[in-house]
Amino acid sequence: MPETMTWPADRRITIKDLQAATDRGERWSMLTSYDTLTAGIFEQAGVRALLVGDTSAEMVLGYPDTLPVTMDQLIPMVQAVVRGTRTALVVADLPFGSYQAGPQAALANAVRHLKEGGAQAVKLEGGRRVVPQVQTLTGAGIPVMGHLGLTPQSVNVLGGMRRVQGRGDAGGELLADATALERAGAFAVVLESVPADLGRRVSEALRVPTVGIGAGPHCDAQILVWQDMAGLTTGRLPRFVKQYADTSGELLDAASRYAADVTAGRYPDQAHSYA
């Protein structure tokens, strides 16, 4: 099969590969990843692109939202994900405060993600208001993924993290934002927590892929936070999360049996000791 019809096995996937898959109607998946081992597993599983997201603020660093994470905290995670993969496209999030001041701030931080982190692309949140940033980054040769709908960096103006965005008249605004991002050169647009019908309208309107997270079945690609997908996060999760494993339960069981074995003197036994 010619390489254009399949996914590369001996080089990194590029934004052109993602566009080609979308053009031929093939759905593809993304996951977040923040470390070497999970990155390698997700790549092996056929996940085409990995996002070192600012959700690492919550999932790795224990903050209540995504706002506190910094470039200096994200870059080692980007490096780890790049080191753990050979073919996946690695997208690095631009955290809150790293691009809002304008195109030059965005450029300086995006360059760090590519130069120091080794990422192949960056992601930022917002629509028409970040068009100058997207134009500057793409003009400098840096692929940009947009992010619309529920944009967690704006939690303080959105009034909560569980709100579905883009209902009613807001749908038209979101469509205009998506079109503006595509025109500015974005190679893909994440749609988070929007009605499925709006996900369909945006996907039909854009040539570049839409990457849905709680945006229904019509998006060209899907992304989930890996701890949600694998059942490591517990408690009340958004409706769109499907848990494919009970990692939390498995880990609790393993750690409990280990702790009990140590307490009872069953571990280490002879088989796990040096002669």
Of 22, 32, 133, 222, the one binding ligand KIV by CB under 6 A: 32
Q: How far is it, in rounded angstroms, from Cα 46 to Cα 151? A: 27
Of 51, 89, 137, 191, the one binding ligand KIV by CB under 6 A: 51
Distance of CA 145 to the CA centre of its chain: 10
Nearer to ligand KIV (CB atom), residue 121 or residue 190: 190
Of 78, 213, 219, 232, the one binding ligand KIV by CB under 6 A: 213
Nearer to ligand KIV (CB atom), residue 96 or residue 275: 96
Distance of CA 261 to the CA centre of its chain: 38
Of 22, 33, 38, 55, the one binding ligand KIV by CB under 6 A: 55
What angle (nearest 5°) sits at the alpha carbon of residue 69, between those of residues 63 and 72? 140
| C-beta of residue 6 within 8 angstroms of C-beta of residue 21 | no
Nearer to ligand KIV (CB atom), residue 88 or residue 261: 88
Distance of CA 45 to the CA centre of its chain: 16
3-state helix, strand, coil in the chain (%, to 5): 45, 15, 40
Beta bridge partners of 222: 29, 212
| C-beta of residue 127 within 8 angstroms of C-beta of residue 174 | yes
Binding span for ligand KIV by CB under 6 A among 52-60, 109-117, 243-251, 262-270:
52-60
Q: Is 190 in the site for ligand KIV (CB under 6 A)?
A: yes
Active site residues: 192
Q: Is 58 in the site for ligand KIV (CB under 6 A)?
A: no
| Residue burial 5-19, b: 16+ Cβ < 10 Å; e: rest | eeeeeeeebebebbb
- Binding-residue pattern over the window 216 to 245 for ligand KIV, x denoting contact by CB under 6 A: -------x-x--------------------
Least distance from C-beta 264 to ligand KIV, angstroms? Answer: 41
Given the rule CB under 6 A, which residues bind ligand KIV? 32, 51, 53-55, 93, 147, 190, 192, 213, 223, 225
